Amino acid sequence: MVKALAPDVRPIEELDKRTQRLVKLAMKARKKAYAPYSKYLVGAVIVDTRGKIHAGCNVENANYAGTTCAEQAAVVKMVSRGAREIRRVVLVTSSDEPVFPCGFCRQIIIEFGPHAEVTTVNRRMTQFAQSTMDELLPAQFSKKQLHS
Protein backbone atom coordinates (compact mmCIF):
# COMPACT_ATOMS: atom_id res chain seq x y z
CA MET A 1 0.00 0.00 0.00
CA VAL A 2 1.14 3.49 -0.81
CA LYS A 3 0.53 6.58 1.26
CA ALA A 4 -2.48 8.73 0.44
CA LEU A 5 -1.61 11.43 -2.02
CA ALA A 6 -1.23 15.03 -0.88
CA PRO A 7 -1.63 17.09 -4.02
CA ASP A 8 0.74 20.01 -4.43
CA VAL A 9 -0.86 23.42 -4.36
CA ARG A 10 0.84 25.87 -6.70
CA PRO A 11 0.40 29.51 -7.72
CA ILE A 12 -1.92 30.03 -10.71
CA GLU A 13 0.90 31.71 -12.68
CA GLU A 14 2.54 28.31 -13.10
CA LEU A 15 -0.47 26.99 -15.00
CA ASP A 16 -0.01 26.68 -18.77
CA LYS A 17 -1.93 29.06 -21.03
CA ARG A 18 -4.28 26.47 -22.47
CA THR A 19 -5.40 25.34 -19.03
CA GLN A 20 -5.78 28.96 -17.89
CA ARG A 21 -8.25 29.38 -20.72
CA LEU A 22 -10.21 26.36 -19.48
CA VAL A 23 -10.19 27.82 -15.96
CA LYS A 24 -11.81 30.95 -17.32
CA LEU A 25 -14.54 28.88 -18.94
CA ALA A 26 -15.10 27.02 -15.66
CA MET A 27 -15.34 30.33 -13.82
CA LYS A 28 -17.86 31.52 -16.40
CA ALA A 29 -19.94 28.35 -15.89
CA ARG A 30 -19.67 28.83 -12.10
CA LYS A 31 -21.52 32.14 -12.43
CA LYS A 32 -24.63 30.22 -13.53
CA ALA A 33 -24.60 27.91 -10.49
CA TYR A 34 -27.88 27.49 -8.62
CA ALA A 35 -26.82 27.00 -5.01
CA PRO A 36 -29.30 28.83 -2.76
CA TYR A 37 -28.92 26.26 0.02
CA SER A 38 -25.15 25.80 0.33
CA LYS A 39 -24.04 29.07 -1.30
CA TYR A 40 -21.17 26.92 -2.57
CA LEU A 41 -20.87 27.68 -6.28
CA VAL A 42 -18.90 25.36 -8.56
CA GLY A 43 -18.10 25.50 -12.25
CA ALA A 44 -16.62 22.62 -14.21
CA VAL A 45 -15.29 22.14 -17.71
CA ILE A 46 -14.70 18.81 -19.39
CA VAL A 47 -12.47 18.30 -22.40
CA ASP A 48 -13.41 15.13 -24.25
CA THR A 49 -10.97 13.01 -26.23
CA ARG A 50 -11.95 14.79 -29.44
CA GLY A 51 -11.03 18.12 -27.89
CA LYS A 52 -14.57 19.39 -27.43
CA ILE A 53 -15.37 21.41 -24.32
CA HIS A 54 -18.44 20.91 -22.09
CA ALA A 55 -19.22 23.24 -19.19
CA GLY A 56 -21.50 22.75 -16.19
CA CYS A 57 -22.42 24.22 -12.82
CA ASN A 58 -23.98 22.78 -9.70
CA VAL A 59 -27.78 22.74 -9.40
CA GLU A 60 -29.20 22.24 -5.93
CA ASN A 61 -32.62 21.10 -4.75
CA ALA A 62 -34.67 21.84 -1.63
CA ASN A 63 -34.39 18.17 -0.68
CA TYR A 64 -30.57 18.37 -0.83
CA ALA A 65 -30.31 14.79 -2.24
CA GLY A 66 -31.47 16.12 -5.60
CA THR A 67 -28.33 18.22 -6.01
CA THR A 68 -26.45 17.82 -9.27
CA CYS A 69 -22.74 18.58 -8.93
CA ALA A 70 -20.99 20.76 -11.52
CA GLU A 71 -18.79 17.91 -12.72
CA GLN A 72 -21.86 15.70 -13.17
CA ALA A 73 -23.57 18.50 -15.09
CA ALA A 74 -20.60 18.77 -17.46
CA VAL A 75 -20.45 14.97 -17.92
CA VAL A 76 -24.15 14.83 -18.72
CA LYS A 77 -23.81 17.64 -21.21
CA MET A 78 -20.92 15.82 -22.90
CA VAL A 79 -22.93 12.61 -23.19
CA SER A 80 -25.96 14.42 -24.58
CA ARG A 81 -23.74 15.66 -27.39
CA GLY A 82 -22.67 12.15 -28.30
CA ALA A 83 -19.19 12.11 -26.71
CA ARG A 84 -18.21 9.28 -24.38
CA GLU A 85 -14.60 9.81 -23.29
CA ILE A 86 -13.22 12.38 -20.86
CA ARG A 87 -9.64 13.56 -21.17
CA ARG A 88 -9.61 16.43 -18.67
CA VAL A 89 -11.72 18.03 -15.94
CA VAL A 90 -11.10 21.62 -14.87
CA LEU A 91 -12.83 22.94 -11.78
CA VAL A 92 -13.36 26.25 -9.96
CA THR A 93 -14.95 25.91 -6.51
CA SER A 94 -15.89 28.26 -3.67
CA SER A 95 -13.12 27.20 -1.28
CA ASP A 96 -10.14 29.27 -0.25
CA GLU A 97 -7.83 26.47 -1.40
CA PRO A 98 -8.00 24.20 -4.44
CA VAL A 99 -10.44 21.36 -3.71
CA PHE A 100 -10.89 18.09 -5.60
CA PRO A 101 -14.27 16.61 -6.64
CA CYS A 102 -16.39 14.79 -4.05
CA GLY A 103 -16.65 11.01 -4.20
CA PHE A 104 -19.93 11.20 -6.12
CA CYS A 105 -18.35 13.23 -8.91
CA ARG A 106 -15.32 10.99 -9.04
CA GLN A 107 -17.60 7.98 -9.58
CA ILE A 108 -19.49 9.77 -12.34
CA ILE A 109 -16.27 10.94 -14.02
CA ILE A 110 -14.64 7.48 -14.10
CA GLU A 111 -17.58 6.01 -16.03
CA PHE A 112 -16.21 7.99 -18.99
CA GLY A 113 -12.67 8.87 -17.92
CA PRO A 114 -11.00 6.37 -15.58
CA HIS A 115 -7.64 8.04 -16.21
CA ALA A 116 -8.77 11.64 -16.76
CA GLU A 117 -6.60 14.52 -15.56
CA VAL A 118 -8.14 16.88 -13.00
CA THR A 119 -7.15 20.50 -12.40
CA THR A 120 -8.80 22.46 -9.61
CA VAL A 121 -8.59 26.15 -8.81
CA ASN A 122 -9.61 28.07 -5.69
CA ARG A 123 -12.33 30.71 -5.63
CA ARG A 124 -10.02 33.65 -5.97
CA MET A 125 -8.20 31.95 -8.83
CA THR A 126 -4.80 32.33 -7.19
CA GLN A 127 -3.89 28.65 -6.72
CA PHE A 128 -4.32 25.32 -8.44
CA ALA A 129 -3.69 21.62 -7.85
CA GLN A 130 -3.61 18.74 -10.30
CA SER A 131 -4.16 15.01 -10.12
CA THR A 132 -5.60 12.10 -12.11
CA MET A 133 -8.62 9.90 -11.61
CA ASP A 134 -6.30 6.94 -11.01
CA GLU A 135 -5.00 8.78 -7.97
CA LEU A 136 -8.28 10.39 -6.86
CA LEU A 137 -10.29 7.18 -7.07
CA PRO A 138 -7.96 4.19 -6.81
CA ALA A 139 -9.34 0.65 -7.04
CA GLN A 140 -12.32 1.92 -9.04
CA PHE A 141 -15.73 0.30 -9.09
CA SER A 142 -16.88 0.31 -12.69
CA LYS A 143 -18.68 -1.79 -15.29
CA LYS A 144 -15.98 -4.45 -15.15
CA GLN A 145 -16.49 -5.05 -11.41
CA LEU A 146 -20.27 -4.97 -11.74
CA HIS A 147 -20.21 -7.71 -14.34
CA SER A 148 -17.47 -9.91 -12.90
Q: Interaction with its own copies in 40-79: which residues (CB under 8 A)?
A: 40, 55-57, 59-69, 72-73, 75-77, 79
Can you tell me the distance from the alpha carbon of 138 to that of 35, in angstroms, rounded to the nearest whole number?
Answer: 30
Which position among 89, 110, 116, 121 is part of the footprint of its own copies (CB under 8 A)? 110
Tell me the closest approach of the beta carbon of residue 51 to its own copies, in angstroms: 19
Tell me the closest approach of the beta carbon of residue 20 to its own copies, in angstroms: 21
10 binds its own copies (CB under 8 A): no
Residue positions annotated with a catalytic role: 71
What phi, psi does 76 have (nearest 5°)? -65, -40
- DSSP string computed for 76-143: HHHHHTT---EEEEEEE-SSSS--PPPHHHHHHHHTT-TT-EEEEE-TTSSEEEEEEHHHHS-S---H
Which position among 15, 92, 105, 121 is part of the footprint of its own copies (CB under 8 A)? 105
Tell me the closest approach of the beta carbon of residue 122 to its own copies, in angstroms: 9
14 binds its own copies (CB under 8 A): no
87 binds its own copies (CB under 8 A): no
113 binds its own copies (CB under 8 A): no
Are 140 and 131 in contact, with CB atoms under 8 Å apart?
no
Can you tell me the distance from the alpha carbon of 108 to that of 58, in angstroms, rounded to the nearest whole number?
Answer: 14
